[in-house]
Amino acid sequence: MTLNLADLYEAVAAAIPERTALICQDVPLTFAELDQRANQVANYLISAGIKPGDHIGIHMLNAHAYVETLLGAFKARAVPININYRYVGGELSYLFNDADLKALVVSGEFVGRDLDIIDQTPQLTLFLVTGDEHACAADLTAPEGVTIVDYEEVVGAADTTAPLVDERRADDTLVIYTGGTTGMPKGVIWGHEAFYFAALTGANPYGDPYLNAEELVAGVTSPDAMQIMYSLTAPLMHGAALYALWTALLGGNTTVMMTKFDPVEFLALVDKYKINIGMIVGDAIARPLADALREHKEQYDLSSLFYIGGGGAIFSETVQDELKEQLPNIILGNSFGASESGVDGSISTGEDGLMRLAPKPGVKVLDENLAEIQPGSGDLGYLARTGHVPMGYYGDPEKTARTFPMIDGQRWVMLGDMAEVEADGTIIVHGRGSGVINSGGEKVFPEEVEQAIKAYPPVEDCLVAGVDDDTYGQRVGAVIQLREGAGEFTQDGLKEFLRGKIASYKIPAVVSVVDTIVRSPAGKADYRWAKRTFN
């Protein structure tokens, strides 16, 4: 059996068919039931003409149908494509065409947006609409050449046996579209085997990776195996949430999936389902959770929760301290990674405010000539990884060549984060090179300044970006969202607070206070928006 996600899931489901795999909106699915539903999705797609390698878009909030479609596409050797549910108009048209979508599984809540641009996406000819109170397939008029069907009706009528397809392969692909902090979204092409090792840590985050299906099943069915209840708070259209879901599924564990994050609902789910591990994405989720704990924790039994893991966005020390204050026994983890690289390790912040990544095989810092930065040299370079890495960006050979260069016959991924290597091999991660502010020749990394600002009590959230300046080239600017009831905010007070914490040239010269910081649904920073607020 190959290291193909569909094959591996089927092996796990056959070993633990009655164990609960997924709970969403209080509806459970066992491993066997999810396997059967995914078979039905796969068989319908095949009957509708979907072939191996065809791209299937998923445009919905977290739901059973999202997971069924992911797994069903893998079973049919099709390629699932994540759609940001906040996209509209031209953004959707761009993504649908860039991804060459042949079919779309979409909730009634969003189908109107997609049909509005259907004349711009001629290759998209099949819509599967999941019914809700907003719309259903029967209410929609199909344009010429487009088939619109009710997801539940056609999937429920499809064959429940495993689909008949050519032998699945380890290099079958999945594509994760990532918007990042600048530019249009790009589709990262992963082979299943590379994804399994790099993003899912070989389905064993607590030890050595499982190298084949036999080892995986033995680990899942071992009497000593921990039975974990996970809570997934972030949207599955975000890579970090996808990593967490598949790590849980292949580990034989149960995922309690939130449709949309609500901090008080999270506390209620921990109490109801005795959740052990909560997966969050950055301060956008962690800060509201800390506030909810402060106000509501006495109303719920949270004793089962022993770990909260962050990933996909910065999980600041300030917010971690707030969580520890409310949950003194909690273990906090801050994973570092990207859609282009998987999980690269755990990040920690030292007393000097710098983020550090422990040495890990295959993770290096390279200079502009793609030569390795020597430990202790103090030289800046770019964080890079080799080994199990993606194949490149879908349909973009130019960006692929830049981001996934071949060095001495090995493919690398250049992550874009500037970094240096300490004498013991520890990597100091400074932040995205594309966001570096050059102020009078001094380099300022936004992430470092953001962490310092967030420690100021009146600040709820912030983004830091460069502001054009005739004298210095750029000055440091901060967009700040205030925290209700946390004290008076003044720019002089902020500057005084930051003195001694960061160098004077890093202290924001321009501050813009807004009602709400604009971030992606998964908490990623929107630096283009931040810069516009200064104009």
For the chain, 535 residues long, the average pLDDT of each consecutive 10-residue run is: 93 98 97 98 96 97 97 98 88 93 95 90 93 64 84 93 91 88 79 96 92 96 91 92 95 96 96 95 85 95 94 78 93 88 86 82 91 91 94 94 94 90 90 74 80 88 85 85 84 88 86 85 72 80
Q: Is residue 347 part of a domain?
A: no
**387, 412, 432 - which closes a domain:** 432
Q: Same domain, yes or no, for 315 and 464?
A: no
Q: Same domain, yes or no, for 498 and 456?
A: yes
Round to whole Å and give the CA distance between 93 and 255. 32
pLDDT value at position 133? 53
Structural domain of residue 519, as residue ranges?
436-533
pLDDT value at position 502? 84
What's the predicted TM-score (pTM) here?
A: 0.86
pLDDT value at position 417? 84
Q: Same domain, yes or no, for 222 and 181?
A: no
Q: Is residue 24 part of a domain?
A: no
Q: Check which CATH number belongs to the domain holding 167 and give it.
A: 3.40.50.980
> Residue 431, by phi and psi: left (phi above 0), alpha (psi -120 to 50) or beta?
left
Look up residue 301 and give its two tokens.
């039994």
Q: Is residue 240 part of a domain?
A: yes
Q: Same domain, yes or no, for 196 and 102?
A: yes
Q: Is residue 332 part of a domain?
A: yes
**432, 454, 479 - which closes a domain:** 432
**303, 338, 373 - which closes a domain:** 338
pLDDT value at position 396? 93
Q: Same domain, yes or no, for 172 and 50?
A: yes
pLDDT value at position 256? 98
314-323 per-residue burial string, b: 16 or more CB within 10 A, e: under 16? bbbbbbbebb
Tally of domains in the chain: 4
pLDDT value at position 522? 55
Round to whole Å and give the CA distance between 167 and 159. 19
- Contacts by 201-207 with C-beta closer than 8 Å and gap 24+? 201/247, 201/343, 203/8, 203/247, 203/250, 203/251, 204/251, 205/247, 205/251
Q: Check which CATH number belongs to the domain holding 519 and give it.
A: 3.30.300.30
- 44: Cβ contacts below 8 Å, ≥ 6 apart: 128, 154, 155, 157, 158
Q: Same domain, yes or no, for 152 and 191?
A: yes
pLDDT value at position 184? 74
Q: Cβ(280)–Cβ(232) under 8 Å?
A: no
Task: Look up tokens 């967030």; give the residue.
Answer: 454
Q: For residue 347, which of 431, 286, 424, 414 has the smallest C-alpha distance?
A: 431
pLDDT value at position 520? 65
Q: Is residue 381 part of a domain?
A: yes
